[in-house]
Amino acid sequence: MTPNEFASIAALMPDPFRVLWREKVSSTNDELRELAVKGMAEGLVLVAEEQTAGRGRRGAAWYSPKGESLAFSILLRPVAAKSMWSRLSLTAGLAVAEAIEKYVPLAEIKWPNDVQIGGKKIAGILVEAGADFVIVGIGINVNSGNFPEGLAATSLKAETGNEVSRAEVLLEVVKRLARHSDRIDRDFPEMLEGVKERCALTGKRVALTYSEKRVEGFIQGVGPSGELLVEIAGKLERIFQADEIRVLSE
């Protein structure tokens, strides 16, 4: 992406969102965090053509080929209680899923922060909070190809057979996140219905690691606060944070 690539969407961005483009950064989350600490106003969308140290959850490297994928971070300053900020992972996942459904029939959300098509990862989300702000980092495989061996991933180009405008995808995600991010408190149950409809794990047998324990169970769905409902040894557990989830069978 170049400045000219997204110039056409600048006037279409919902208030107060606006784009700041960078040729190269270590990480869009890290770069935007520095600006947030200095008092940058809510709504800045930092887009990078290239990340030298892009990462996913737990510090995993994020495959983000220059000129093919879309890597950006969004600065939010939520007015909701800080205890609800963790809901922004699912909120962002829903925004991304809805945005790419403009190009594909159905996107699935792998709780809490991956988006898939046909079981293959197309987007990842990394939400990091500061004292009075939240950074929502998003990576989307738009025109990516030649994925590393063993990586179960896909892209919009791979799914549609056509090049897709990265600027257009960016606009679609921001428009939806702008609408959803204010709903993490009073309207969260209504918004959560969209997540439940797209939950890739419901009905699956999984192995998951949480609270330093590794267990196996069946996913019953998503609970009212966005937690994962897992049947473990005949007992329903509510998991709010997991380090790893691996599908074992249908």
Question: Do 28 and 143 lie in a common domain?
Answer: yes
Question: Do 193 and 214 lie in a common domain?
Answer: no
> How many helices and strands (H and E) does the chain possess?
6, 12
Residue 181 CA to residue 65 CA, distance in Å, equals: 28
Q: Which long-range contacts (CB under 8 A, 24 or more apart) does 180-185 make?
A: 180/91, 180/94, 180/95, 181/76, 181/78, 181/88, 181/91, 183/91, 184/78, 184/80, 184/84, 184/85, 184/87, 184/88, 184/91, 185/80, 185/81, 185/84
Question: Do 55 and 107 lie in a common domain?
Answer: yes
Q: Which domain holds residue 226?
A: 205-249
pTM for the whole structure: 0.92
Question: Do 182 and 219 lie in a common domain?
Answer: no
Structure tokens at 226: 């966005």
pLDDT, residue 51, reads: 86
pLDDT, residue 126, reads: 95
Question: Do 187 and 210 lie in a common domain?
Answer: no
Question: Do 53 and 147 lie in a common domain?
Answer: yes
Contacts (Cβ under 8 Å, ≥6 apart) of 160: 103, 104
Q: What is the CATH number of the domain that holds 32?
A: 3.30.930.10
pLDDT one-digit tens code per residue, 10-33: 899 999 999 999 999 999 999 999
pLDDT one-digit tens code per residue, 38-92: 999 999 999 999 888 765 555 556 666 777 899 999 999 999 999 999 999 999 9
Rounded average pLDDT over 228-232? 96
Q: Torsion angle, CA of 249/196/243/212, rounded to 10 degrees?
A: -80
Q: What is the CATH number of the domain that holds 232?
A: 2.30.30.100
pLDDT one-digit tens code per residue, 174-207: 999 999 999 999 899 999 999 999 999 999 999 9
Question: Do 182 and 83 lie in a common domain?
Answer: yes
Question: Do 209 and 113 lie in a common domain?
Answer: no
Question: Do 109 and 133 lie in a common domain?
Answer: yes
Question: Do 79 and 132 lie in a common domain?
Answer: yes
Question: Do 212 and 190 lie in a common domain?
Answer: no
Question: Do 150 and 223 lie in a common domain?
Answer: no
Q: What average pLDDT does the chain have?
A: 91
Total of domains in the chain: 2
